[in-house]
Amino acid sequence: MTGKNDQSHYHLKHRFFNRITRVSGISVLIFFLAACDSSRESAATVPPLRLVKVLEISEPVQYQYKEFPGVVDAVQKADLAFRVSGKLDTLRVKEGDIVAKDQLLAQLDDRDYRIQLNSREAEYKQVHADYLRARKLVDRGAISRSDFNKLQAQNSTAQANLATAKQTLGYTSLTAPFSGRIAKRYVENFEEISAMQPILLLQDTSSLTIKVNLPSSLMIKLHQDAQPEINAFFDTIPGQKFPLKPLEISTQADEATNTYQVTLSMEAVEGYNILPGMSVTVRGRRDIDKEREQGSFYLPAQAVLGDEQGRYVYLAIPAGEGLATVERRNVETGRLSQRGVQILSGVNAGEALIVAGMSKMYPGLEVRLSKESSL
């Protein structure tokens, strides 16, 4: 009887300890989960660093630029043509050839014109001989004055016809009116040519011209401002500029574009084959008034604040890995213009200016940088 009681007591005790162990495990698990939630809540209470937008302050403004597209042209150019018709007998040049002034370029078959010249010469000799005899006879009274006047008129006409025949024969030769380069040949040898039909395009590229179109707003200021520095830039010649000088300024606006054409001169460039028809960028640079602008910056108006201590800006002082510390910087301001507020002192080139959310900034605040562009 005693053995049975002991065995029952053992089972009751074993079940009690199992229940205690199970309850203890659940308590430990609940405690662990509560600790994790507590650590999460603790981490969530740490706010992330504020992201601020900054602009890099560039060097002080010293110049103003204006750029316009332009087209290169020759300082002289001409379509060369014969003044008479005929068969092209000789074509002495080809495209790209360099020619000198008065050099023979092409020749027509001149046989018909030489025959005509010979006829005019014979006619003139006969008429002129009659005129000379009549001049002696009229003084003696052997012929009337009216007959002499007729012979004198015939002599003048024959002389003019002879001069015309000589000139026409000369028109069968095509020579260069100036030194230059044969840019284009319009015909082939042995073709039948009409009078004034273009044969060759001659261009003088010893110097070049560049034509640009300016709007009326700039034309109004053209004579008010100091003469700007003007340069040409070519995409295929990076890093180089070529000085230009004003040559002609049109005072009549183009009806379609309402712009005024300005012609600029440019010296030929050694080592580069710059030819008429090429595209170019023309940049005009004007010095800004040095007394008012030299050494000053222009900052966005919304980034310049003020209080009882004066005008100031917020700068982001880099701390590495995209982080920065906010610094308040007092500044001396100048005039307000379309470019922003003029800053005479207080900031330096390369510093990061905070341009958004300034109301939430204060010195010593740690932030993350969002760099957009340069001023």
pLDDT digits (tens, 9 = 90+) for 125-154: 999 999 999 998 988 888 999 999 999 999
Distance (Å, rounded) from C-alpha 75 to C-alpha 131? Answer: 52
Q: Is the pLDDT of residue 226 over 90?
A: no
pLDDT given for residue 347 in this prediction:
92
- Of 332, 338, 262, 265, the C-alpha closest to 304 is 332
Looking up tokens 């040049």 gives: 93
Helix (H) or strand (E) holding 162: helix 145-170
SS3 state at 128:
helix
Judge contact between 55 and 356, C-beta under 8 A. Answer: no
**What's the CATH number for 52-61+293-374?**
2.40.420.20
Please tell me the pTM assigned to this model. 0.60
Please report which confidence band the pLDDT of residue 370 belongs to, taking 50, 70 and 90 as the band edges: confident
Of 1-10, 216-225, 278-287, 330-339, which gets the smallest average pLDDT? Answer: 1-10
Paired sense of beta strands 259-267 and 340-345, if any: unpaired
Report whether 348 contacts 367 (CB < 8 A).
Answer: no
Q: 93-107, 116-130, 173-187, 240-254: which range is least confident on average?
A: 240-254
- In whole angstroms, give the CA distance from residue 111 to residue 120: 14
pLDDT of residue 23: 44
Residue 334 confidence (pLDDT) = 87
Strand pairing report for 229-233 and 180-185: unpaired
Superfamily of segment(s) 66-72+205-289 = Efflux pump adaptor protein, beta barrel domain (2.40.30.170)
For the segment 202-216, the average pLDDT, to the nearest whole number, is 93
80-193 folds as OB fold (Dihydrolipoamide Acetyltransferase, E2P) (2.40.50)
Mean pLDDT computed over 288-299: 60
What does the pLDDT read at residue 49? 85
pLDDT at 17: 46
Mean model confidence pLDDT for the chain: 84
CB 342 within 8 Å of CB 335:
yes
For the chain, give every domain's residue range. 52-61+293-374, 66-72+205-289, 80-193
Q: What is the mean pLDDT of residues 258-287?
A: 90
pLDDT of 279: 95
- Give the rounded distance of the alpha carbon of 171 from its chain centre: 44
Q: Does 31 score more than 80 pLDDT?
A: no
d(CA 218, CA 110): 56
Report whether pLDDT(48) > 50. Answer: yes
Separation of alpha carbons 354 and 361, rounded Å: 9
Name the least confident of 22-36, 47-61, 195-209, 330-344: 22-36
d(CA 95, CA 105): 12
Indicate the pLDDT class of residue 271, thresholds 50, 70 and 90: confident
Report CA torsion sign: 364, 365, 371, 372: negative
d(CA 24, CA 301): 67
Under 8 Å between Cβ of 329 and 343: no
Q: Is the pLDDT of residue 56 over 70?
A: yes
- What percentage of residues in the chain have a pLDDT greater than 70? 80
Q: Sign of the CA dihedral 7, 12, 14, 15?
A: positive
CA torsion 333→338→340→345, rounded to 10°? -40
Whether the pLDDT of residue 200 is over 50: the answer is yes
Are 85 and 200 within 8 A, CB to CB?
Answer: no
Residue entry with tokens 């940049």: 283
What CA–CA distance (Å, rounded) separates 32 from 38?
10
Q: What is the pLDDT of residue 305?
A: 95
How far is it, in rounded angstroms, from Cα 367 to Cα 342?
A: 27
- pLDDT bracket for residue 292 (50, 70, 90): very low
- How many other C-beta atoms lie within 10 A of the C-beta of residue 193? 22
Residue recorded with tokens 């597209």: 69
Residue 342 in contact with residue 334, Cβ under 8 Å? yes
More confident residue, 30 or 308: 308
On the question of pLDDT at 2 being above 80, the answer is: no
d(CA 174, CA 110): 12
